[in-house]
Amino acid sequence: MNVHEAKLKQAGKAPAGMSAEEWQARVDLAATYRLCHHWGWGDLIYNHCSMRVPGEPKMFLMKQHESMWDEVTATNLRKVDMTADLDEKAGVNRPGFTLHGGLLMGRPDINCAVHVHTEVGMTLCGTKGGLRMVSQQALRFYNRIGYHPYEGITEDFSERERILKHLGQNRALIMQNHGFVTVGKTAREAFILMKYLMSAADIQQRIDATGKGGIDIPPAVCEKTAAQFETHDAGRGSADWPAYLRLMEKVDPSFRD
């Protein structure tokens, strides 16, 4: 066994006093931060990914305020109470805590959320008409995406109720003039949805840039394909998450630390 293999074997063990389930959640969330950074979606120390702590439904994990996305590790994630009233004094970003705590508290069916402010995403967030069904990537979100009007920096708990109302039971939320949110039962699901939403936004803007207009996909085909993707994600699609973890191990295995 070489040094790298030995490190990975040791990294697979939960620290004393921590359940194996929480440790895996920490590894998956740290990997999600690193993957988002790898794809260029991070914003230095701002914006967040979150994960509900297994077995502790009111607790969740998010990065500490000062950490950059590529500095997040399984051990330096903060474990916080979503029913609390926290800000930077507690080591977490107030807007991030407000958004993610509200999402996880209001949607017990989800365990992970990703929120980013990319320029491609924010361009779509500021465009009338929102996401259009002009690509296969967009079809994951057919009748499965919500829209939330801009209210300023998300730091008031009163906005949580409206965010949840506009998200509904959807898989994603376009926060107008602000950014994208995706949610899932697993880190894999929330990350993959963001990857497709970002791709759909980029493709739509490229099509618009041609000045020739897009080819709209018929509603019946949209619904068929969206349902196919849901089946895919619940089945064979999950096989790609170990591959994403291997990718991150090749780039920088320290996310497991």
At 9, the pLDDT band (50, 70, 90 cuts) reads: very low
The length of the chain, given as a count of residues = 257
At 122, the pLDDT band (50, 70, 90 cuts) reads: very high
- Please give the CATH architecture assigned to the domain spanning 17-250: 3-Layer(aba) Sandwich (3.40)
CA 246 to the chain's CA centroid: 19
pLDDT in tens, 47-60: 999 999 999 999 99
pLDDT in tens, 147-184: 999 999 999 999 999 999 999 999 999 999 999 999 99
Domain boundaries, the chain: 17-250
Cβ atoms of 181 and 114 within 8 Å: the answer is yes
Cα gap 106→121, rounded to integer Å: 24
Cα gap 72→30, rounded to integer Å: 6
Cα gap 177→224, rounded to integer Å: 30
